[in-house]
Chains A and B, each alone.
Chain A
């Protein structure tokens, strides 16, 4: 199956519901980790791999919707599939607006659930690649000296070496050397590549 490199988190306070979901999703080939509360989920470390969250809406303590808000605040963009005992329309609207993949009312068809999980994992697979790339870019960017960082920031705006030199109050030759270091450390094939990297870093800074 397709789930070996991914993980499905289940957060549900009801023991029957939680255990059976865990069993069903595991029987479909996914790795599953289940938690009885939002707090327990937040407290546990999450490995970087394609993942999604199957989340009960109503729980004591932090509710499902509150956990969704909490994760958004933390910048964690984990695709969420909500499950609820009753079709609660305003609640589902709120959840979907906040980016939920699916809002399922119990009892749901298992195909619907598994399809939603597959969709969510696929969606996160793309995001996962982005996250990996971002992490790599950050790692590379972190190797730059402060000066090199300044040079990169100026270069990607389209300035020529001479103009950068003027701006930073250094010789054109020095700037050229810095620029070479930047291209090397950032592992950029071309200026266009560096610009794209810079945009990514900027957008996710």
Chain B
């Protein structure tokens, strides 16, 4: 504990002992000055005041010094005695009372000073404690801040990782669709070639065919657009980019997904039946991620039915609006007529690296589910009548309805 500090003026012994000297001197001078005007003025009260002040200010020592100086001053007749002509002995009782008074005042002064010191000490301690607590709090605060920053960066890292994972899974999926993609690009390219060759024939047989050549050129432009649209779709699906929500129509999403997978679906002799409710609300979601989810479900269903007899080689895709606790929701359902899901497998279906396919990574469904959940929805296996499996993605509806 540090020694409590009072005002520096009180601490200095020189000042403490200088005060009685000055005070008594001042009292004696003032008394003499007053007596020169009026001889009836008594000297003692002012000296008494000086002694009391000294005792209060400086404690017992300065008080006694002031008393001694006052007594000396009276004894030496520097100040006229209270009753003129009386001897020092006669004044003794008065001096004793005077000294007791000094003692008393200096005792009170001491107590007061002590109390003040205690108060000061307590205040200082309090201040120190407050400073300490403040330091502690600011330390805790900075720790909290760094923890928050750490958590935030961990969350960001997780998000980035999920995006990366979704991207990898998407690219893997595109790998499964290469035949389809090649076909979709080759069709318009083949058509362009046919038109070009037809044009050469037309030109070779004379200029009267200009109108036909013009028609062919127009169609070439149309087919070039078709090819570049296919490539743009593929590029968008294979791109690695942050989530970007937009207003999407379920029909557009489905058309795009089926356009990409069409050839694979046909090659397996699979029929796709779509059933979209009229006036379906729009989705507020990331286009590429939604396509990924739908494409994944469609591919899974397609592979589930490919070994089935022709009449069962069918998948049904439907979309409905439904009122749920969180407002209007869109329910997209992909259902196949394949062998269905073994109830024992159902729980593990959404676990990472769990696959029932020989070449499967086991990432499709878990990633699809995380995408749907990141959009505030749910993706699950739902019971269906008859043979086969049905998956349902429930997503909150955005603003606007399908035109």
Which A residues are within 8 Å of any B CB, using their own CB?
Answer: 14, 16-17, 19-21, 23-24, 27-28, 58-60, 63, 85-86, 106-108, 110
Q: B194 is contacted by which of A23, A59, A63, A85 (Cβ under 8 Å)?
A: A23
Contact yes or no, B187 A85, CB < 8 A: yes
Compute how far the CA of A79 lies from the CA of B197 in the bound complex, rounded to whole angstroms: 24
- Residues 174-213 (chain B) with a chain A CB within 8 angstroms: 179, 182-183, 186-195, 197-199, 201-202, 209, 212
Q: How many A-B residue pairs have CB under 8 A?
A: 69
Please tell me if the beta carbons of B191 and A20 are within 8 angstroms of each other in the complex: yes
**Residues in A neighbouring B188, C-beta threshold 8 A:** 16
Residues of B within 8 A of A (CB): 179, 182-183, 186-195, 197-199, 201-202, 209, 212, 215-216, 219, 223, 226, 263, 266-267, 269, 271
In the complex, what distance in Å separates the CA atom of A85 from the CA atom of B185?
11
| Distance in Å: Cβ of A143 to nearest Cβ of chain B | 47
In the assembled complex, which residues on chain A have CB atoms less than 8 Å from the CB atom of B199?
Answer: 27
Structural contact, B197 and A24, CB atoms closer than 8 A: yes
- Indicate if the CB atoms of A23 and B219 lie closer than 8 Å: yes
Closest to B265 in A: A60
12 contacts between A and B (CB under 8 A): A17-B187, A17-B191, A20-B190, A20-B192, A20-B193, A20-B194, A27-B209, A85-B187, A86-B179, A108-B190, A110-B193, A110-B201
Residue numbers in A under 8 Å from B219 (CB-CB): 19-20, 23
Given contacts A16-B223, A58-B266, A58-B267, contact A23 B190 (CB under 8 A): no
Q: Give the Cβ gap from A116 to chain B, nearest Cβ, in Å.
A: 14
Q: Give the contacting residue for B266; candidates A21, A59, A110; CB below 8 A.
A: A59
Q: Which B residues lie within 8 Å of A20 (CB)?
A: 190-195, 198, 219, 223
Contacting pair A17 B197 (CB below 8 A)? no
CA distance A23 to B201 in the complex (A): 11
Query: Given A24-B201, A27-B198, A110-B193, 7 more contacts at CB 8 Å?
Result: A16-B223, A23-B194, A23-B219, A85-B182, A106-B187, A107-B193, A108-B190
Cβ-closest chain B residue relative to A63: B269
B200 closest partner in A (C-beta): A110
* Minimal beta-carbon separation of A44 from chain B (angstroms): 23
Min CB–CB distance A81 → chain B (angstroms): 14
Contact of A27 among B179, B192, B202 (CB under 8 A): B202
Cα separation A63 to B270 with both chains bound (whole Å)? 12
Inter-subunit contact B201/A27 (CB<8 Å): yes
The reply to whether B216 and A106 contact each other, CB–CB distance below 8 Å, is no
Q: In the bound complex, do residue A19 and residue B191 qualify as a contact, i.e. CB atoms below 8 Å apart?
A: yes
B198 lies within 8 A of A85 (CB): no
Quick check: A85 and B263 within 8 Å, CB to CB?
yes
Q: Are A110 and B267 in contact (CB under 8 A)?
A: no
A-side contacts of B182, CB under 8 Å: 85
- Cβ–Cβ contact B186 & A21, under 8 A: no
Q: In the complex the two chains form, what is the Cα distance from A20 to B179 in whole Å? A: 22
CB distance from B201 to the nearest CB of A (A): 5
Measured CA separation A186–B201 after assembly (Å): 48
Indicate if the CB atoms of B216 and A17 lie closer than 8 Å: no
Looking at the assembled complex, report how far the CB atom of A40 sits from the nearest CB atom of chain B, in whole angstroms. Answer: 17
How far apart are B10's CB and chain A's nearest CB, in angstroms? 105
Closest 8 CB pairs of A and B: A20-B191, A20-B194, A16-B191, A110-B197, A27-B198, A24-B198, A24-B194, A107-B190
Q: How far is the CA of A64 from the CA of B197 in the complex (A)?
A: 25
Residues of B within 8 A of A17 (CB): 187, 190-191
Tell whether A107 pairs with B195 under 8 Å between CB atoms, given A16-B226, A27-B212: no
Closest partner residue, chain B, to A107 (CB atom): B190
| Cβ–Cβ contact B266 & A106, under 8 A | no
Q: Which residue of B lies closest to A14 (CB)?
A: B187
* Alpha-carbon gap, A24 to B193, bound state (A): 10
Residues in A neighbouring B190, C-beta threshold 8 A: 16-17, 20, 106-108
Contact A60 B201 (CB under 8 A): no
